A and B are shown apart, each in its own frame.
Chain A
Amino acid sequence: MVNKFIPKSLQEALLILSQHDCYIMAGGTDLMVMKHRSSGLLPSFDKDIIYIANLQELNFIKDVSGSLTIGATATYSDILKSPIVPQLLKDIIIEIASPSLRNMATLIGNIGNASPAGDSLVGLYLLDAQVELISLRGTRTMPISEFIYGVRRIHREKDELIKSVIIPAHHFTQVKWKKVGSRKAETISKITFAGAYTLEKGIVRDFRLAFGSVSITVVRRPELEAKYIGLSVKQFKDKISDILSDYGQYITPISDQRSTKDYRYKVAMNIARDFISHIG
């Protein structure tokens, strides 16, 4: 018989986590599907659960020293309504799941789930998001690209809770988001793409590409970006094939019930090519 904890405060939650290895459930839109057995039955949990959705202390969307900070229990709907959230994140979120699920699900939940098809992760990687973890021992922060290291694999110690995600401010010239699914709503991505660049007097000063659902984690390669930053717009476009070829080795999709690896690879390249060819 597993424990089902419903803490009334963040402190209580951390105390529980320091003593029990728990599933952390906020909205429940991932865990309740994963653990569902049959209509009328309780979901089957093989370890303790802690329910944090009602912790108001974690329900924040605020500017902290110029960086956007979103708390663990802020839902997708809350984020869509906030005026300080960058458009890229809103474009991503409005295509996740469905309206009712967006009322329940949280951005932090998407991070904690660390699915290769997690849409918000693509945007968060592009924006250099940091994940803030908290426990009785204190807090620590790390880049999201370090935090997630595999399929549903995150560097969360058992006594830790993801408190917030911190997104530094950016002022890109252009940002693009593209989600390719089987239909226009309620779809798990076949491929996702986020791209951004900054132009200053015809020179590309910042350039980022991130791909989702094409590998075990989001593909973003800052070292490749660095190779091409500083080029002029014309030089950039001349080098499209090189750029795509560089990224191509990291785009390693699989074939599954939703799509084929050939389709995913080709479309990822098509979207990237289209994005780069429109720079300027």
Chain B
Amino acid sequence: MKRFFPNSTVKIDNEEKMAGKAIFTDDILCEEALSVSFVRSTISKGKILKIEVPTLPEGYFYVDARDIVKENVVSIIFSDWPVFADKQVNYYGETIGLIIGPSKEVALDLAKKVAITYQEETPVFEMTNSVIHKHFAKGDLAKAKKEADFTYTETFRTGLQEHIYLETQTMLMWLDGDKITVKASMQCPFYVKKAIVRTLGCDPDSVRVIQPAVGGAFGGKEHYPSILAAQLATAIVKVKKPLRFVFDRNDDIAFTTKRHPSETTYTAFVKDNRITGVEASVKLNGGAYIGCSGVVLSRGLIASVDCYTIPNLDVNGNVYLTNIVPTAAFRGFGSPQTIFAFEMFINHVAKALKVDPLKFRLAHLAKKGDITAVNGHFHDEIIMPQLIEKAMQMSDYKRKVKEYDKPNSNRGIGMSWFLHGCGFTGSGESTIINAQVKLVKEEDDTVHLYTSQVDFGQGNRTTLKKIVSDTLKYPENLVFHEAPDTDHTLSTGPTAASRTVIIVGYLCEKAAKHLKEQWVSGKRIEVIEPYVGPSYIRWDEDTMQGDAYPGYAWGVNIVEVSYDPITYQVRVEGIWSTYDVGHAIDERIVAGQSDGGLAQGIGYGMLECMDVKDGRFYQKTISDYAIPTSMDLPFMETALIDNPFAYGASGAKGAGELTFVGVAPAVCLAIEQAIKRKINKIPANPEYIMELVEHGKN
């Protein structure tokens, strides 16, 4: 059989996944498990005055805020999300209680019969109630403003996005003796454990979280499973029997967390055709609870001028609470919103100045040594010019961008440039996460790697194992990396923020080096490798100043589209990408991240619409909310250029989010060229395109 990736490793769980043998949470046989049904708020905002539970048959239970053991709160960075809505509901669908019992049918029916009397309050759906405000400045914007010979202002909007992981939210919880044991579709076993421990106030050793196969996550299972776990833990203390649920798809769409919608306004101050200053204002819709929104805002603000160096900045951002399902983590975590906005903006500024956008952007592109938006430095070599050149070559960009500019070409090609800070934003790695990799050589000389990184498709279980076996120069089949079990592994932090390879992978490499130094055949040797950040990285969380990330990954996306002026529909004809991820530990895995990020990005940029109507999501099913099918995408071509990172395993940085954050502007710049109108919001769907073409300005 032809080889496409001769240097790649077969993934650990590949065979079982293809054969249908991988055990996902709902595949686990547990006949005694009781079914859990959710009693949810049917209003967007109000006080709960009375809860009337119907008479429950034998073996059925109702659980709500009154059953909370210690604390009715789930820590999701900020601790404002209650386990169960107590006297107040803040969004349609908020969980008030659970009905638990042996028959799912009966439990569902009983849940519908729980009668809640509310005192309704006026919900807020507009971004008016700011609960988090952040601000930073660089240089002297007032001076740039004064000296400007041209000023340009524009506002951009991005919409909600739903993860549509193929496996919906699901959890199985049981008591092993007195130990609460959980298997769930999740990204962060230690977050889940922490949530249970906090709400019950119990000994951490009395909770064990084990990762089964996980069918996709993309951020949607970073925080939300913690809420579900806290709810089930409260129940299991009362019921003392195994519990399980699987969300039906429509419930998953209606009630789980989404990407933060945004509104970003930029003003550029230009002198002699160079942007000398930018004023940026970012608004994020946090939904009903803050949760991780503060960090989403931080990342978005830090990325507010994308991969460009602008000498003078004034950046402010706000998170607003509204009465819809809380928004939370989703691949990119704030930066897709601002990268879309700034990439479109800088192209529009160039057009307004009547200068070539390519030259204009090149003139502002960040270089090694430049001061970042938050007054840190780009410490490492930036190879964007090579990435850009290669991508343009692959796609025949230069010829096409000229040709498609002709009137009625009905075609467009767009190129986006972007970066992604790898690792937890700011000082989180050292102050909050404190990852510790455990590497053990057993007496039989097999090597066992223990991390809390969850493989939900990105192949990290294999990548991290490969780092160890490559560093030890040891046969891959003698190195084992089991799925996380909180009883056996230390926390290496969440599976998020593109940190797995750059942070945890680096620790795996260090651990393997230390193991190699101490290697004695036939003896058990255990190495614990704690995270120590590069000493030159300094960050002040309060002022948001310094080096926000230990390293950055960089990328270029080029998207070509054709346009049908009769239906205003756009077809993606080609996608080409180049990336600097430092070094690809496994090229096949990185190619997979590229492909998936591009597809999801096309969805974000032009296909996926989620509107809010009366506090509820208007699109209710997996047909209403259209993600791309195999017929909506062409083949994608990806090339990597090595640029080894000093603090990365074999020089590797991160790739999980990089491959998503730049797609929306690439496709929108292409659509702009095809329709000859400016795009200011995504998704750039046919209905919006029609408005622009029929009523908009050129």
- Chains A, B in direct contact (C-beta < 8 Å): yes
| Complex interface residues of chain A between 1 and 42 (CB less than 8 A to chain B) | 37-41
* CB–CB A271/B566 < 8 A: yes
Question: Known contacts A38-B248, A40-B104, A257-B611: does B567 contact A187 (CB below 8 Å)?
Answer: no
Residue of B nearest to A264 (CB): B687
Asked if B78 is an interface residue, CB under 8 A from chain A, the answer is no
Asked if B628 is an interface residue, CB under 8 A from chain A, the answer is yes
Q: Give the complex CA separation of A184 and B690 in angstroms.
A: 19
Question: Which of B108, B567, B619, B629 interacts with A185 by CB under 8 Å?
Answer: B629
Shortest distance between the CB of B71 and any CB in chain A (Å): 31
* CB–CB B624/A257 < 8 A: yes
* CB–CB B104/A38 < 8 A: yes
Annotate A160-186 by CB proximity to B: 1 below 8 A, 0 otherwise.
000000000000000000101011111
* CB–CB A185/B632 < 8 A: yes
Chain B hits for A259, CB < 8 A: 687
Q: Give the complex CA separation of A38 and B245 in angstroms.
A: 11
* CB–CB A267/B629 < 8 A: no
* CB–CB B632/A183 < 8 A: yes
Question: Known contacts A37-B108, A183-B628, A186-B623: does B607 contact A263 (CB below 8 Å)?
Answer: no
* CB–CB A185/B630 < 8 A: yes
Q: Give the complex CA separation of A180 and B689 in angstroms.
A: 15
Chain B hits for A267, CB < 8 A: 566-568, 686, 690
* CB–CB B567/A180 < 8 A: yes
Q: Give the complex CA separation of A260 and B694 in angstroms.
A: 15
| Complex interface residues of chain A between 240 and 268 (CB less than 8 A to chain B) | 257-260, 262-263, 266-267
Asked if A274 is an interface residue, CB under 8 A from chain B, the answer is yes
Residue of B nearest to A266 (CB): B690
Q: Give the complex CA separation of A40 and B108 in angstroms.
A: 12
Chain A hits for B687, CB < 8 A: 259-260, 262-263
Asked if A103 is an interface residue, CB under 8 A from chain B, the answer is no
| Complex interface residues of chain B between 558 and 580 (CB less than 8 A to chain A) | 565-569, 571
Shortest distance between the CB of A275 and any CB in chain B (Å): 10
Shortest distance between the CB of A184 and any CB in chain B (Å): 4
Asked if A96 is an interface residue, CB under 8 A from chain B, the answer is no
Chain B hits for A37, CB < 8 A: 105, 108
* CB–CB A188/B623 < 8 A: yes
Asked if A54 is an interface residue, CB under 8 A from chain B, the answer is no
Q: Give the complex CA separation of A263 and B630 in angstroms.
A: 25
Q: Give the complex CA separation of A184 and B694 in angstroms.
A: 24
Annotate B231-269 by CB proximity to A: 1 below 8 A, 0 otherwise.
000000000000000101000000000000000000000
Chain B hits for A188, CB < 8 A: 623
Shortest distance between the CB of B181 and any CB in chain A (Å): 23
Question: Which of A38, A40, A187 interacts with B626 by CB under 8 Å?
Answer: A187
Chain B hits for A262, CB < 8 A: 687, 690
Residue of B nearest to A181 (CB): B626
Chain A hits for B609, CB < 8 A: 182
Asked if B5 is an interface residue, CB under 8 A from chain A, the answer is no
Question: Which of B571, B620, B690, B694 interacts with A257 by CB under 8 Å?
Answer: B620
* CB–CB A184/B629 < 8 A: yes
Annotate B215-234 by CB proximity to A: 1 below 8 A, 0 otherwise.
00000000000000000000
Cβ contacts A to B, 19 pairs, < 8 Å = A37-B108, A38-B104, A39-B246, A39-B248, A41-B105, A180-B567, A183-B631, A183-B632, A184-B629, A187-B626, A188-B623, A257-B611, A263-B568, A267-B567, A267-B690, A270-B565, A270-B567, A271-B566, A271-B567
Interface residues of A (CB under 8 A from B): 37-41, 178, 180, 182-188, 257-260, 262-263, 266-267, 270-271, 274
Given contacts A184-B632, A188-B623, A262-B687, 14 further A-B contacts (CB under 8 A): A38-B104, A39-B246, A40-B104, A41-B105, A182-B626, A184-B629, A185-B632, A186-B629, A257-B611, A258-B624, A262-B690, A267-B686, A270-B565, A270-B567
9 nearest A-B pairs in the assembled complex, by CB-CB distance: A184-B631, A182-B626, A185-B631, A185-B629, A263-B687, A270-B566, A257-B618, A183-B626, A257-B624
